[in-house]
Amino acid sequence: MQTPTQPTLSKAQPTGYKAQPTGYKAQPTGYKAQPTGYKAQPTGYKAQPTGYKAQPTGYKAQPTGYKAQPTGYKAQPTGYKAQPTGYKAQPTGYKAQPTGYKAQPTGYKAQPTGYKAQPAGYKAQPAGYKAQPTGYKAQPVGYKAHPAWYKAQPTGYKAQPTGYKAQPTGYKAQQTGNITITIF
């Protein structure tokens, strides 16, 4: 009785390597079949081109040196946390912020590039301006916090409404053009 001819499904491979269809390269036992040009990866890891590191299924291919991130997250260097596409890489401990916003520690709100980090509840101010609570206007470093309707005054000068000139503490508010009167 003649034995039926079996189709050739696997090419010759070294001892310790499992059979794989033609066009797939030799891989150690425990590694799944992958097309030529893809490196060996453990079972449960999806095929990725050579130069990309093994990542669990559901994670997209990323170059070596980039950590695994869920699909929909862009590649970021090791040491940077996963962030949605459209968010720039930021060191671990920094929260996700839209592109164009600089990295700021967790607990600090997103601010445009060129604005310094400020605690939550403080509004964005240009670099060189000190943090002030929301509702207070931006003032240069060296000027104390004043409500939005008060003008900037050097430290040591008391808050006065707009239209009143800066005066040292101990002097009463006067409209611009009036004579200064000392309070004893």
As a whole number of angstroms, the distance between CA 133 and CA 121 comes to: 6
Q: Does the pLDDT of residue 4 top 60, yes or no?
A: no
pTM score = 0.21
Region 18-32: mean pLDDT is: 66
Digit-coded pLDDT (tens) for 94-136 = 666 666 666 666 666 666 666 666 666 666 666 666 666 666 6
> What residue segments make up the domains of the chain, in order of their start?
127-161
Question: Residue 1: its pLDDT value, please?
Answer: 46
Q: Does the pLDDT of residue 182 top 50, yes or no?
A: no
Region 155-173: mean pLDDT is: 61
Name the average pLDDT for the chain: 62
Question: CB-hemisphere CA count at 13 Å for 76?
Answer: 21
Task: Indicate the SS3 state at residue 45.
Answer: strand
Q: Does the pLDDT of residue 12 top 60, yes or no?
A: no
Residues in the chain, total: 184
Amino acid 99 reads T
As a whole number of angstroms, the distance between CA 105 and CA 120 comes to: 11
Cβ neighbours of residue 107 under 8 Å, at least 6 residues apart? 119, 120
Q: Which two tokens stand for residue 14?
A: 């070294």
Question: Residue 83: its pLDDT value, please?
Answer: 65
Question: Residue 181: its pLDDT value, please?
Answer: 44
